[in-house]
Amino acid sequence: MRAAKDLVAKWGEDSIVGFGFSITEDLKKHMSDEKFLVAYDAWMSWKREQGKLPEIGGMELAEIQLTRNQQARFSIDERGEWFCTDFAPGMVDFTGFSLAGQTLKSGGEAFAKVHIDNCELAMSKQLPVYTTFKAIKAVHVALWEVLYLPVRSTDINEDEVIAILQPVVYRQNYLEELLNALPHGLMTVVRHPVDGQREQQFQVIECNRPMSNMMRKRMRDIVGIDLPTLWPEADQEALEQVMVSVLDDGIARNFNAYYTLDSEVRNCESRITQSPWGLTVYTWDTGPQD
């Protein structure tokens, strides 16, 4: 792992603080995904060396100065690990689940719930959440879809593979928060490559208003066909019930499906945004209602 002092020397102290918490285009110009993660690890070690992260002492709060003068509040646990409790623009929660998975086994459901709520808060702000595969398995949240970053480095423990989480938990208060956060009258599709060897791409479809009957029927057909493909290890019956209930309400609020942008989507102006992490976001008006 590159020494923290080398990173500080190259980018400056203010920048290395930002590497830990702020995802910006500026940072991605300097670093690949692997280097970003290595820099984050180095940053944590460097902060501990400076005595700025407590190793013991129970739950404490720390305010971290971010790049572009952004601030966020973090809870620091007794092991010196942290998880975000108040998201600022551009924030991503890297940790928390690893500890949540351990405490869950000994009755620490409350801690796990805090982290899950933080993940949902991140999603309501359309932010990905980064955590580890081992931790996800420990918590057993059934309706979560996991996409792995191609992280292969001697600097990173392969037992702690970094993953992207997109929660699809059908919970009314979360959905209301999500719908309020989305632009009115727009559908958002986030395309994720599932497998480098396949042409198919995974997508999260979110819509905050009733869909046309034509669009709703198309979504139901697609969900019915692709559910086993999307969640090979999940409870298919439970997932299908969630999807059908959402579709029957006429609102595709927050569910996952394969979808192909083609000529069947007519009279829709689309905007394409490339995120710093290579995810492509399509946004378009759903058109008049039937």
pLDDT at position 69, please?
A: 26
- Asked if 164 and 130 count as a contact pair (C-beta separation under 8 A), the reply is yes
Q: Which tokens is 51 given?
A: 């005595």
In sequence order, what are the residues at sequence separation of 6 or more whose Cβ sits closer than 8 angstroms to the Cβ of residue 271?
Answer: 282, 283, 284
Sign of CA dihedral 190, 191, 193, 198: positive
Phi (first) and psi of residue 248, to 5 degrees: -65, -30
The pTM (predicted TM-score) of the whole model is 0.18
- The label of the residue with tokens 């809870």 reads 75
Residue among 194, 196, 204 at smallest CA distance from 127: 204
With both helix axes pointing from N to C terminus, report the angle between 4-11 and 13-21 in degrees, rounded to the nearest 10.
Answer: 110
Number of H helices, E strands in the chain: 10, 11
Strand partners, 266: none
Euclidean distance between CA atoms 252 and 72, whole angstroms: 32
On the 0-12 / 13-18 / 19+ scale of CB atoms within 10 A, 4 is buried
> Which of the residues in the chain have pLDDT under 50?
1-31, 33-40, 43, 52-290
On the 0-12 / 13-18 / 19+ scale of CB atoms within 10 A, 153 is middle
Q: How many residues does the chain have?
A: 290
Q: Which tokens is 131 given?
A: 């955590």
- Asked if 83 and 73 count as a contact pair (C-beta separation under 8 A), the reply is no
Q: Which tokens is 15 given?
A: 């920048």
For the chain, state the CA radius of gyration. Answer: 20
pLDDT tens per residue, range 40-84: 455 455 555 555 443 322 222 222 222 222 333 333 333 333 333
pLDDT at position 190, please?
A: 30
Euclidean distance between CA atoms 41 and 160, whole angstroms: 12
